Structure 1
């Protein structure tokens, strides 16, 4: 199998780098200064134990790559970028006949629960991946992966449900590459659990580290709203104890030399000045379900709105206090 990593940021870069370092064939897809840095100097992947410079082939568009029947497409971008990339890759020809949409497996290595639905409209063989992978990408060409001894836990399953031989081969490759990759025929249970844990991403981006009574109260309320809407919608998710049992101490956060990690993926979007953020598909998913099922979600609504404002206005992460945010939310 050859892995085409569409989006070589923190998640995609770590997955692609680890696969390549373990001897698997990988192509990274990136753009702008990140693409230029990868093409000229390779991927610099720093972990708690080593710093690797990996000469991974890199392209900046689908047309620059000839797809083969054994390729696996791994979509590792934020959800707001999914549609454009799915459309760009779906119609690409595969050597020997057919298109990527008809023939190739597509793995959604992404947060949120919308990507798989978007992909299944276009691709025949769609797989969900629940990503628990602490990493950061703040400079072109550089990824810091702070998980140890494994870099991450990646639950895998066919969407909407199921498993199969293709998935077994992908999981085996990942498990030889510093990941735990459990196959879960009901993978969306894990993705909905991850959605709940991601509801604090916007809070961290807006206010900085979630510490202190007011920030912790906002985090608790956002999570409580999420659990309430999932219950109202009849959506099952993996519980805290179930998640802890799988994780154990397999992925411990350790310092990476030279890393200036300040927060998770949404914090990093603001720190890089990317101009967009994923809150519409994290807090916004809870807002949508709340409106659909008649459950009030004031904290998630405010977090969604403010995170988008911060991204559009290129405001620095952590530039609003938790008390200011709490005043906007109300009691």
Structure 2
């Protein structure tokens, strides 16, 4: 198979580079200065065990490729960019193209399934940082990340079996799971706090004072209430945490800032859109559909939008401001 990684930032670039080093046929789709750097000098992969520059094939758009029966696309862009990517792929390749959603949240698979026939979900637990064009930092050792995959909405087939075998050979922990969306719903419970680290700063998130911990707990409780109302099965956070602990620990890379979540990295790079609508917004939507109040998730979603519009920097919002908005929303 040829793997086409669409959105080759920290996650996509890391997956693509390690697959290529394992002997797989890989193409990266990226844009801007990052694309220019990869085309000119390759992709520098930095890890706790050392660094390696990988000569990658990188293009700026699917129209630059000729698609064939052996191609599999792995989407690794943020959720807000999925629709545009699907437009491009539909025009260039057609609806039979297998598409794997290696993205946070649980809404991308549904978006793809409306338009394509072969859709796969991928659980992504992978400490990666992308802040410098042409460079990716992968902090996980001994394996770079946890990438269990399966068909959407459920099932396993030859494509996902081969994908997981190739990912395992490339240095990931990747198991074929017929109910991968259960894992992704469980992972979403942790991703609900991504914007807290971006707005309040990763220091505030890591120190996890009482106010931060209580707010994070309320967001998760809202999500679980929505899951229960919608009869959505989800993996307990402990299950995903145990798999993570068995896969890697996060090491140090000299001269590289560990940074924070994908939302934090978007704020740091000045990206004009973030994925909060596909994380907290997913819970807000479920709440609306099933009459479950979600003021904590809605407050964080709205505060993130305000910060983005105002051009606020990482760490410029106090947790108390978010809680105040939550209380206002809860009061109606």
Counterparts of 1:88-99 in structure 2 under 5 Å? 88-92=88-92, 99=93
- Report the CA distance between 1:329 and its aligned residue: 2.1
Residue 96 of structure 1: aligned partner: none
1:312 paired residue among 309, 328, 332: 309
Residue 131 of structure 1: aligned partner: 124
Residue 302 of structure 1: aligned partner: 299
Task: Provide the C-alpha distance between the structure 2 equivalents of 1:175 and 1:314, rounded to a whole number of angstroms.
Answer: 40
- Report the CA distance between 1:225 and its aligned residue: 1.0
2:215 paired residue among 211, 214, 218: 218
2:224 paired residue among 224, 227, 244: 227
- Report the CA distance between 1:91 and its aligned residue: 2.7
- Report the CA distance between 1:46 and its aligned residue: 0.7
For structure 2, the 5+ residue unaligned runs are: none
Q: Is the 8 A contact 1:276 1:312 kept in 2?
A: no
- The reply on whether 1:199 has 2:192 as its aligned counterpart is yes
Residue 23 of structure 2: aligned partner: 23
Indicate the SS of the match to 2:100: strand
Residue 279 of structure 2: aligned partner: 282
Task: Provide the C-alpha distance between the structure 2 equivalents of 1:184 and 1:6, rounded to a whole number of angstroms.
Answer: 23
Task: Provide the C-alpha distance between the structure 2 equivalents of 1:313 and 1:36, rounded to a whole number of angstroms.
Answer: 30
Q: Is the 8 A contact 2:124 2:148 kept in 1?
A: yes
Task: Provide the C-alpha distance between the structure 2 equivalents of 1:49 and 1:81, rounded to a whole number of angstroms.
Answer: 33
| TM-score, length basis structure 1 | 0.95
2:266 paired residue among 269, 288, 299: 269
Q: Is the 8 A contact 2:7 2:30 kept in 1?
A: yes
1:293 paired residue among 282, 290, 294: 290
- Residues 215-244 of structure 1: per-residue CA shift (max 9 Å, x gap): 112111111111111111111101133223
Task: Provide the C-alpha distance between the structure 1 equivalents of 2:51 and 2:20, rounded to a whole number of angstroms.
Answer: 14
Indicate the SS of the match to 2:288: helix
Residue 95 of structure 2: aligned partner: 101
Task: Provide the C-alpha distance between the structure 2 equivalents of 1:278 and 1:203, rounded to a whole number of angstroms.
Answer: 13
1:260 paired residue among 230, 252, 257: 257
Residue 68 of structure 1: aligned partner: 68
Q: Write out the 4+ residue segments of structure 1 that deviate beyond 6 Å after TM superposition.
A: none
- Report the CA distance between 1:53 and its aligned residue: 0.5
For structure 1, the 5+ residue unaligned runs are: 93-98
Number of residue pairs the alignment of both structures matches: 324
Residue 175 of structure 1: aligned partner: 168
Task: Provide the C-alpha distance between the structure 2 equivalents of 1:134 and 1:225, rounded to a whole number of angstroms.
Answer: 26
- Residues 113-152 of structure 1: per-residue CA shift (max 9 Å, x gap): 1111111122111111011111111111111111111110
| TM-score, length basis structure 2 | 0.94
- Report the CA distance between 1:313 and its aligned residue: 2.6
Q: Is the 8 A contact 2:125 2:244 kept in 1?
A: no
